[in-house]
């Protein structure tokens, strides 16, 4: 996998993860182009799209688009499966996840993604293992006393 | 101290944390940028504080801002600070920020090496994990090199959590630092059998990706993977393994066979066990992978997917089909309807996939039908990209394998014409090249094509009216050329000529105008020819007047090519008009300008032309040009390219002149080559900017209804016609069949008609000239070359005859002698074998038709080898019998020897490698080895041959005259080098005076150049210096002066004997005139 983007229906980027080294300028250009192309597609269309020399696999969950870029020889369906698995993980972690969860806890979303994918490859296919690793790391964070950063926002208000 | 902590936490209470930032941004929708810039200022303040918690908070916010697209590279060092915090909470934030913000060119990465190493060996597995995760995103070659060992150790960590990450990150390390692969590989292989499934799957992942890049090295792992595949239940792993086998099977075909069984098992098992939609998807993709492996799969198991209405399935099904198509086209072809249906899909991805499939599915039978469907889509398509894709596909499909599937070219031409009506397509040049190709190669279509092109030209305003359609105006290039080249087929050439000379043509891109001008001249020739047949001469004069009136427009063109051609033709027409006014018939002469037919040349034709002996195609003719020069050489933008600057220092490139000249010649050639479609009409832009364009009225035509160009036939009617034609053919065939089996039952006649026709039944209406192997008849450019050769070659003549007893014979002889005389005029200095012929051995029974081969020979020095001369002999059979078994033999002298193949004796003849039918001539080359070149010499030789009918041996004697001149090679020399040579003093002097030479000085020079292989170094008035070089490197310099009828030649050479002989020969040349 080359990169993963999460963006809203309004085209706002919610999360980006790049597994290939690119300059910021290129990243921005690619993001802009892709978001436009994907948003232009109608809901009943298939999840695949050929773009430059890459294949784009995307899926929409509620108001959020999950979009991955893979190489030509890569398997489209496994990518679709990865997206779905990631959504499941987020759902389990946040408890029926919504876009706001990802906006306000974007670093958590990254941590989960990093536990699930590494260098663009799936590193752990077991949901249980991923969540266990995240929980333990979070626990470590609480113990080490930082606390505040991880707190949900409603707690502060 | 305590106070400080309290103070720090109080400060923090007032700081914004990430949530505040996010909320703030959401609340400042109107002035987001302003809000964020204040936030960044705050963050900068926070980063200046000592408190690591504050810093981590700031970095976290920066990470968020980075995602929104703000530049945070200035905080890279602060990120490193946070990374090196001992607390996991901050470390985690730091690594996250680093993985998001760092890339290979971030310089602070150098500072992280030790920190990362420390974290990798941390007792806390999550510290290690976080470091590995971060590293996977920003690993650089340096980091990979420095940390490879540490990561390799981690691959055998006790915790599977770390092992798994370490294995995966190794792939990134391999990519950045390939040297690490060899030492790490055994351990990686070990991990394939790791007890933890996560680690195992990570190892499979890595090896699979590695194998994709270089499958050969991983063949040895096949048995291990085979075991894994049969034992693993993890679908993720299975898919990866199958993908890996996909890479391996092309290298080891036996593997494919072995895989059939477990794979089919797998598919069946999975399909039955998992009924959930998602799993099925993966399975159907398994099938896709399978087809990639060796198309093991029977289509029946793959097909159910296509009926599924789910788009994803459709897409994957089509993808699978395109894979299967490559190996099993028949099985896919049966799903044609389904695929055509997919073309109607709303989804562009699916349509594109379906289009890909069509290419392999056409046959003679269904081509028209398929293309008709595609044409419908072209009309409906909204996006230009998709429409352009359709257009290229239509042309691809039709033109594939030499138009194999096209049975009716009229139909194809109309399709192409219809395609020109597409708005805003980029592929004008593609259509144009197709039109040219078809018109040139399919002779029978020319009449039709010319008519179509004439209408196109007539309606050119429809194509060019809209500026957006500039891409399509390329078609006019083809149209103009076809109309000009095949103008004899035009019904109304006058009308087309007028259409080509309309003032609006000046709005077209330059290269198209150039073709217009050139072809207008061709048309003009045709029109003149037609009109001169009539009694009324005014019509022809009017035509000339039309040309003279219209051409000045082009003469003013900003495009050089157009200007040049136009002014050239304008002058020509003016001259023609003058002649016309004197009532001189000129049509024939004008037509001769464009005479000659253009024939297709097979791509391999060049191979049939033997490489002349002594010509080394790989050797440099000049010193290889410098790098920058070779870039210039590339003919990508022919017209836009600028000439090389003169300011370039002279000494760097000796034959810069020569290069420029060749470049120019090539440009000319490309411009004249109708097959050469220019890449980018950048000249177009230049033209638009040229002044005066706005005066040209451009009619804007804005039509919402599809344009129907009047007079253009619709391709649809051909589909119908073709149907009828086939029906008829079938009926005819049927009749014949019926006759044959009249006795058989006649009941199923009607039914049989509607039965499927086989491919072979369809006879094409036109044939394409598909030249693959044979030599072309005469290509126009080839013709030029041969003529040039003849012009340059000094031809000597040996002829030999038989004494004849017949009148007929004598006539022939006379004729021949005449011919010889004619030649003599031009080649006085050359030797003719004694008396123009020697009698061959009398064999008593002289037949009526005596063989009379005449040969013309030419001696050329071999540049590569100073002791070799190549003698080219043209044998011409002037009798009416077939000559065979020709043998060429020369009596060697001490100095010169004929080169014979190894193993043959010194007196053996050489077999001439061809036979001569009556009236045919052919050329053979013989190589002679010469020791000394300073003296001329004669060699005696014989040619023996058999006359086919009489089967008797005949003999013909001849003499070969090796003049000293023939050892000279025309070598250009620059005046400075020449001067240096003369100054050197190594050269011996000699001079000669010629009296009574009555010819202009430049003729005289040309004669010396031509006959004696000199080149003019410098010429001042009636004085010229000339230079030549012998094959053994002797320099020969001449100073030629003329006054009245006296010519004096002062010569210098480092070999006086050679010089004397050359001068004698020159003298002889002029004494004969």
Q: Is the CB of A121 less than 8 angstroms away from the CB of B171? A: yes
Between residues B606 and B463, which one has the greater pLDDT? B606
The partner residue sitting opposite B347, judged by closest CB among A19, A45, A124, is A45
Does B895 touch chain A if contact means CB atoms closer than 8 Å? no
The pLDDT value recorded for residue B762 is 52
pLDDT at B123 over 50: yes
CA angle B686, B687, B691 (to 5 degrees): 105
Q: How far is CA B999 from CA B1027, B1049, B1066, B1070, in A?
A: 21, 16, 15, 10
User: Which has more confidence, B813 or B768?
Assistant: B768
Of the two residues B451 and B308, the one the predictor is more confident about is: B451
Chain B segment 271-330 residues within 8 A of A by beta carbon are 278, 281-282, 284-285, 288-289, 311-312, 314-316, 319
Q: Which has more confidence, B170 or B506?
A: B170
Inter-CA distances, B578 with B571, B581, B587, Å: 11, 5, 13
Q: Which of A50, A126, A149 sits opposite B93 (nearest CB)?
A: A149
Give how far the C-alpha of residue B11 lies from the chain's centroid of Cα atoms, to the nearest Å: 70
Q: What is the mean pLDDT of residues A97-103?
A: 85
Q: Considering the entire predicted model, what is its pTM?
A: 0.54
Q: What is the mean pLDDT of residues B433-459?
A: 86
**Among A106-115, B135-144, B588-597, B674-683, which is the least confidently predicted range?**
B674-683
Given an 8 Å threshold on Cβ–Cβ distance, is A146 in contact with B56?
yes
pLDDT at B733: 63
Q: Is the pLDDT of residue B648 over 50?
A: no
In contact, B423 and B448? CB cutoff 8 Å: no
Separation between Cα atoms, residue B391 and residue B374, nearest integer Å: 9
How far apart (Å, rounded) are the C-alpha atoms in residues B807 and B760?
A: 58
- Pick from B88, B89, B312: CB nearest A47: B312
Rounded CA-CA distance B192/B202 in Å is: 8
More confident residue, B422 or B68: B68
What's B1041-1053 look like in SS3? EEECCEEEEEEEE
Residue B78 pLDDT greater than 60, yes or no? yes
- Contact assignment for A23 to B90 by CB distance below 8 Å: no
Pairwise CB contact (< 8 Å): A28 & B69: yes
Choose the weakest-confidence range: A90-104, B547-561, B579-593. B579-593
Between B752 and B237, residue with greater pLDDT: B237
Contact check, Cβ <8 Å, A153/B60: no
B346 has a chain A CB within 8 A of its CB: yes
Contact residues, chain B, for A100 at CB < 8 Å: none
Q: How many CB atoms lie within 10 A of CB B185?
A: 16
The secondary structure element, H or E, covering residue B1023 is: strand B1023-1030
Over the stretch B297-309, which tens digit does the pLDDT of each residue have?
233 333 333 333 3
Per residue in B861-888, pLDDT (tens digit) is 665 666 778 777 777 777 777 787 888 8
State how far Cα B358 lies from the chain centre: 25
List chain A residues with CB under 8 Å of B314.
46
Ranges B257-261, B582-586, B940-944, B977-981: which has the least confidence? B257-261
Percentage above 90 pLDDT, chain B = 1
Q: How many angstroms away from the CA of A65 is the closest CA of chain B?
A: 16
Question: Could you tell me the pLDDT band of residue A35, with boundaries at 50, 70 and 90?
Answer: very high
In B165-204, the residues whose Cβ lies within 8 Å of chain A are 165, 168-169, 171-172, 197-198, 201-202
d(CA B90, CA B108): 18
pLDDT of residue A99: 85
Question: Which 509-548 residues of chain B touch chain A by CB within 8 A?
Answer: none
DSSP letter for each residue of B984-1011: T--PEEEEEEE----S-HHHHHHHHHHH
For the residues B37-62, what does the mean pLDDT come to?
A: 87
Interface test with chain A among B91, B133, B170, B292, by most A beta carbons within 10 Å = B133
Residue B509 has pLDDT above 70, yes or no: yes
Mean pLDDT of B588-601: 78
> Nearest-CA residue of chain A relative to B281?
A77
Nearest in space to B1066 (alpha carbons), one of B1022, B1014, B1030, B1024: B1014
- Cβ-Cβ pairs closer than 8 A, A with B, add up to 178
Nearest CA among A119, A86, A72, A70 for reference residue A14: A86
CB contact under 8 A, A106 and B64: yes
Q: Are B322 and B356 in contact (CB under 8 A)?
A: yes
The pLDDT assigned to B66 comes to 86
User: In angstroms, what separates the C-alpha of A105 from chain B's closest C-alpha?
Assistant: 8
Report yes or no: B609 and B776 within 8 Å, Cβ to Cβ: no
Of B276-280, B956-960, B992-996, least confident by mean pLDDT is B276-280
3-state secondary structure of B928: strand
Whether residue B202 and residue A46 make contact (CB cut-off 8 A), yes or no, is no
Within 8 A of A50 by CB-CB distance, chain B residues are 349, 352
Is residue B361 within 8 A of residue B339, CB to CB? The reply is yes
Between B841 and A97, whose confidence is greater? A97
Q: Which residues contact B745 (CB under 8 A, 6 or more apart)?
A: none
Considering only CA atoms, which of B623, B593, B463 is closest in space to residue B529? B593
What are the pLDDT digits (tens) for B907-955? 778 888 788 887 777 777 888 888 888 888 888 888 888 887 776 777 8
pLDDT at B328: 67
Of the two residues B749 and B99, the one the predictor is more confident about is B99
Chain B residues touching residue A47 (CB < 8 angstroms):
311-312, 315
- Range 98-137 of A in CB contact (< 8 A) with B: 103-104, 106-107, 110-111, 114-115, 118-119, 121-126, 129, 133, 136-137
* Per-residue pLDDT at B1011 exceeds 90: no
Nearest to A75 among B164, B239, B348 (CB): B239
Residue B268's pLDDT band, with cuts at 50, 70 and 90, is low
Residue A54 forms beta bridges with which residues? A51
- Number of other residues whose CB lies within 10 A of the CB of residue A128: 9
Closest-CA residue to B618 (of B789, B793, B859, B864):
B864
User: Token digits for B350?
Assistant: 């699916």
Report pLDDT digits (tens) over B476-501. Answer: 888 889 888 888 888 888 888 888 88
Provide the percentage of residues in chain B whose pLDDT is more than 70: 69
Residues B155, B199: contact at Cβ < 8 Å? no
DSSP state letters, B115-169: HHHHHHT-SSHHHHHHHHHHHHHH--HHHHHHHHHHHHHHTT-SSHHHHHHHHHH
Q: Which residues of B touch A103 (CB under 8 A)?
A: 22
Top-confidence residue, B627 or B196: B196
* Closest CA in chain A for residue B202: A123
Residue of A nearest to B103 (CA): A21
Long-range pairs, B336-345, Cβ under 8 A, ≥24: B336/B361, B336/B366, B336/B370, B338/B306, B340/B370, B340/B373, B342/B314, B342/B318, B343/B373, B343/B374, B343/B377, B344/B377, B345/B311, B345/B314
Q: Is A48 on the interface with B (CB under 8 A)?
A: yes
B669 pLDDT band, cuts 50/70/90, is low
Bridge partners for B889 per DSSP: B942
Average pLDDT value for chain B: 72
Burial class (CB in 10 A: 0-12, 13-18, 19+), B580: buried
How many CB atoms sit inside 10 A of residue B631's CB?
10
A47/B311 CB distance under 8 A: yes
Instruction: Compute and round to an integer the Cα radius of gyration of chain B.
Output: 41
* pLDDT score at B219: 83
**Cβ atoms B927, B893 nearer than 8 A:** no
Q: Which long-range contacts (CB under 8 A, 24 or more apart) does B1002-1006 make?
A: B1004/B1040, B1004/B1042, B1004/B1047, B1004/B1070, B1005/B1040
* pLDDT score of A5: 92
B888 forms beta bridges with B910, B943
Binned at pLDDT 50, 70 and 90, residue A66 comes out as very high
pLDDT by residue (tens digit) across B606-631? Answer: 777 878 887 777 878 777 766 554 44
Give the mean model confidence (pLDDT) for residues B785-812.
36
Model confidence band, residue B1073 (pLDDT cutoffs 50, 70, 90)? low
B809-857 pLDDT, tens digit each: 334 444 444 444 444 334 444 333 333 333 333 333 333 334 444 445 6
Residues 6+ apart with CB under 8 A from B595: none
- Distance from chain centroid for Cα B615: 25
Q: Which of B5, B10, B23, B88 would you mutate first to test chain A, the one with the most A CBs within 10 A?
A: B88
Buried b / exposed e over B227-259, threshold 16 CB at 10 Å, is ebbeebebbbbbbbbbbbbbbbbeeeeebbeeb
The closest alpha carbon to B500, from B448, B466, B458, B539, belongs to B458
Q: Is the pLDDT of residue B639 over 70?
A: no
Q: How far apart are CA B246 and CA B286, in angstroms?
A: 11
pLDDT at position A4 over 90: yes
**Cross-strand bridge partners of residue B854:** B799, B876
A7 Cα to chain B: minimum distance (Å): 11
Say whether pLDDT at B243 is over 80: no
Q: How far apart are CA B225 and CA B215, in angstroms?
A: 14
Query: Position of tokens 């078994």?
Result: B885
Q: pLDDT, tens digit, for every residue of B200-219?
A: 888 988 888 888 888 888 88
Query: Distance from A119 to chain B by nearest Cα, in Å?
Result: 5
User: And the tokens for B993?
Assistant: 């005076």
Lowest mean pLDDT among B396-405, B680-689, B911-920, B958-967: B680-689
- CA atoms of B585 and B535, how far apart (whole Å): 12
Q: Which residue of A has its CA nearest to B95?
A: A111
Integer CA distances (angstroms), B724 to B642, B719, B733, B762, in order: 56, 9, 14, 12
Q: Which residues of B876-911 are buried (b: 16+ CB within 10 A; e: fewer)?
A: bbbbebbbeebbbbbebeebbbbebeeeeeeeebbe
| B77 to chain A, closest Cα gap in Å | 18
Q: With DSSP H G I counted as helix, E B as strand and the rest as coil, what are the percentages for chain B, rounded to 5?
A: 60, 10, 30
Comparison of pLDDT for B616 and A113, the residue scoring more: A113
Helix axes B446-458, B493-500, angle to 10 degrees: 40
pLDDT attached to residue B476: 85
| pLDDT score at B408 | 84
Looking at the predicted structure, is the pLDDT value of residue B398 above 60?
yes
Per-residue pLDDT, B470:
59
Query: Are B671 and B511 spatial neighbours (Cβ–Cβ below 8 Å)?
Result: yes
pLDDT in the model for residue B922: 79
Q: Do A153 and B172 touch (CB under 8 A)?
A: no
Find which of A23, A67, A77, A117 to mutate to test the B interface (most B CBs within 10 Å of its CB). Answer: A77
Tell me the residues of chain B between 68 and 87 that have a Cβ less than 8 Å away from chain A. Answer: 68-69, 71, 73, 87
- The closest CB to that of A119, out of B172, B197, B289, belongs to B172
Using one digit for the tens of pLDDT, what is the confidence trace for B707-751?
344 444 556 666 666 667 667 766 666 666 555 555 445 444 444
For residue B459, the model assigns a pLDDT of: 81
């Amino acid at each position: 996998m080359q990169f993963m983007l999460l963006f809203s229906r309004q085209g706002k980027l919610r999360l980006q993860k790049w597994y290939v080294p690119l300059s910021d300028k290129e990243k921005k250009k690619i993001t802009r182009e892709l978001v436009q192309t994907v948003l232009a597609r109608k809901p009943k269309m298939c999840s695949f799209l050929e773009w430059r020399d890459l294949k784009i696999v995307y899926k929409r969950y509620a108001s959020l688009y999950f979009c991955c870029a893979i190489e030509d020889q890569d398997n489209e369906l496994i990518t679709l499966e990865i997206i779905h698995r990631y959504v499941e993980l987020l759902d389990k972690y946040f408890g029926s996840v919504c876009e706001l969860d990802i906006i306000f806890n974007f670093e958590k979303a990254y941590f989960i993604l990093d536990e699930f994918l590494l260098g663009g490859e799936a590193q752990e296919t077991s949901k249980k293992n991923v969540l266990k690793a995240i929980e333990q790391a979070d626990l470590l964070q609480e113990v080490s006393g930082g606390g505040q950063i991880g707190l949900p926002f409603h707690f502060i208000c | 101290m305590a106070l400080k902590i309290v103070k720090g936490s109080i400060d923090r209470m007032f700081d914004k944390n990430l949530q505040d930032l996010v909320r703030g941004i959401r609340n400042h929708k109107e002035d987001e940028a302003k809000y964020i810039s204040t936030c960044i200022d705050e963050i900068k303040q926070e980063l200046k504080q000592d408190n690591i918690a504050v810093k981590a908070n700031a970095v976290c916010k920066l990470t968020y801002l980075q995602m929104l697209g703000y530049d945070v590279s200035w905080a890279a060092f602060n990120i490193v600070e946070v990374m090196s915090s001992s607390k996991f909470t901050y470390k985690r934030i730091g690594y996250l920020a680093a993985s998001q913000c760092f890339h290979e060119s971030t310089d602070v990465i150098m500072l992280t090496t030790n920190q990362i190493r420390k974290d990798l060996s941390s007792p806390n597995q999550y510290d290690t994990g976080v470091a590995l995760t971060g590293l996977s995103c920003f690993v650089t070659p340096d980091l990979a090199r420095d940390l490879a060992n540490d990561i390799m150790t981690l691959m055998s960590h006790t915790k599977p959590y770390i092992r798994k990450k370490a294995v995966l990150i190794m792939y990134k390390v391999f990519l950045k630092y390939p040297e690490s692969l060899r030492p790490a590989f055994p351990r990686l292989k070990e991990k394939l059998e790791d007890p933890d499934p996560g680690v195992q799957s990570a190892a499979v992942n890595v090896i699979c990706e590695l194998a994709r890049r270089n499958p050969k090295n991983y063949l040895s792992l096949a048995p291990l993977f085979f075991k894994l595949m049969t034992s693993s239940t993890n679908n993720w792993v299975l898919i990866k393994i199958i993908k890996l086998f996909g890479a391996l099977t092309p290298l080891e075909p036996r593997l494919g066979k072995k895989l059939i069984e477990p794979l089919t098992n797998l598919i069946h098992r999975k399909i039955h066990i998992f009924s959930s939609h998602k799993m099925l998807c993966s399975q159907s993709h398994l099938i896709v992978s399978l087809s990639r492996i060796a198309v093991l799969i029977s289509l029946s198991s793959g097909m159910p997917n296509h009926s599924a209405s789910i788009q994803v399935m459709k897409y994957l099904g089509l993808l699978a089909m395109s894979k299967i198509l490559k190996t099993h086209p028949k099985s896919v072809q049966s799903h044609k309807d389904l695929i055509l249906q997919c073309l109607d899909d709303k989804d562009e991805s699916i349509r594109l996939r379906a289009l890909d499939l069509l290419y392999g599915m056409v046959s003679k039978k269904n081509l028209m039908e398929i293309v008709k469907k595609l044409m419908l889509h072209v009309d409906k398509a909204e996006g230009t990209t998709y429409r352009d894709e359709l257009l290229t596909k239509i042309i691809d499909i039709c033109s594939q394998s030499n138009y194999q599937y096209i049975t009716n070219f009229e139909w194809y031409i109309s399709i192409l014409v219809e395609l020109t009506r597409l708005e805003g397509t980029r592929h004008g040049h593609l259509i144009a090249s197709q039109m040219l190709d078809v018109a040139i190669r399919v002779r029978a279509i020319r009449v039709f094509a010319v008519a179509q092109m004439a209408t196109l030209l007539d309606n050119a305003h429809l194509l060019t009216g809209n500026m957006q359609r500039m891409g399509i105006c390329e078609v006019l290039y083809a149209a103009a050329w076809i109309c000009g080249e095949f103008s004899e087929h035009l019904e109304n050439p006058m009308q087309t000529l007028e259409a080509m000379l309309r003032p609006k043509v000046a709005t077209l891109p330059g290269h198209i105008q150039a073709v217009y001008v050139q072809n207008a001249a061709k048309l003009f020739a045709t029109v003149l020819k037609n009109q001169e047949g009539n009694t009324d001469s005014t019509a022809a004069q009017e035509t000339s007047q039309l040309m003279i009136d219209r051409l000045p427009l082009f003469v003013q063109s900003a495009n050089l090519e157009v200007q040049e051609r136009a002014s050239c033709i304008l002058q020509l027409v003016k001259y023609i008009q003058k002649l016309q006014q004197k009532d001189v018939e000129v049509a024939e002469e004008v037509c001769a300008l464009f005479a000659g037919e253009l024939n297709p040349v097979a791509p391999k034709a060049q191979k049939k032309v033997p490489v002349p002996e002594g010509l080394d195609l790989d050797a440099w003719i000049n010193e290889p040009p410098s790098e920058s020069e070779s870039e210039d050489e590339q003919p990508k933008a022919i017209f836009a390219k600028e000439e090389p600057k003169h300011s370039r220092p002279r000494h760097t490139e000796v034959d810069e002149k020569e290069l420029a000249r060749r470049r120019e010649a090539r440009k000319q050639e490309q411009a004249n080559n109708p097959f050469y479609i220019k890449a980018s009409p950048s000249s177009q832009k230049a033209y638009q900017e040229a002044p005066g364009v706005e005066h040209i009225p451009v009619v804007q035509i804005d039509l919402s209804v599809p344009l129907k160009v009047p007079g253009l036939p619709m391709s649809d009617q051909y589909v119908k016609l073709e149907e009828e034609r086939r029906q008829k053919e079938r009926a005819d065939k049927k009749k014949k069949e019926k006759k044959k089996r009249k006795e058989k039952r006649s009941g199923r006649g009607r039914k049989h008609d509607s039965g499927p026709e086989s491919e072979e039944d369809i006879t094409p209406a036109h044939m394409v000239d598909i030249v693959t192997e044979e030599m072309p008849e005469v290509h126009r450019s080839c013709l030029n070359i041969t003529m040039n050769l003849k012009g340059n070659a000094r031809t000597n003549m040996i002829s030999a005859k038989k004494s004849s007893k017949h009148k007929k014979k004598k006539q022939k002889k006379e004729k021949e002698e005449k011919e010889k005389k004619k030649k003599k005029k031009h080649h006085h200095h050359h030797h003719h074998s004694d008396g123009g012929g020697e009698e061959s051995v009398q064999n008593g029974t002289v037949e009526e038709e005596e063989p009379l081969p005449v040969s013309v020979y030419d001696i050329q020095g071999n540049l590569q080898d100073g002791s070799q001369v190549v003698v080219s002999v043209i044998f011409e059979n002037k009798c009416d019998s077939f000559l065979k078994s020709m043998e060429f033999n020369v009596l060697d002298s001490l100095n010169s020897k004929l080169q014979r193949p190894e193993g043959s004796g010194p007196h053996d003849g050489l077999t001439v490698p061809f036979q001569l039918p009556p009236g045919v001539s052919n050329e053979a080359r013989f190589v002679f080895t010469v020791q000394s070149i300073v003296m001329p010499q004669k060699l005696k030789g014989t040619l023996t041959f058999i006359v086919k009918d009489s089967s008797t041996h005949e003999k013909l004697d001849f003499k070969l005259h090796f003049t000293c001149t023939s050892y000279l090679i025309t070598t250009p020399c620059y005046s400075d080098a020449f001067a240096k040579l003369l100054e050197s003093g190594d050269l011996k002097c000699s001079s000669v005076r010629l009296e009574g030479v009555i010819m202009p000085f430049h003729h005289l020079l040309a004669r010396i150049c031509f006959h004696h292989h000199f080149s003019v170094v410098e010429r001042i008035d009636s004085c010229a210096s000339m230079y030549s070089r012998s094959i053994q490197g002797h320099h020969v310099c001449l100073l030629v002066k003329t006054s009245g009828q006296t010519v004096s030649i002062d010569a210098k050479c480092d070999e006086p004997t050679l010089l004397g002989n050359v001068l004698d020969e020159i003298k002889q040349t002029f004494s004969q005139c």
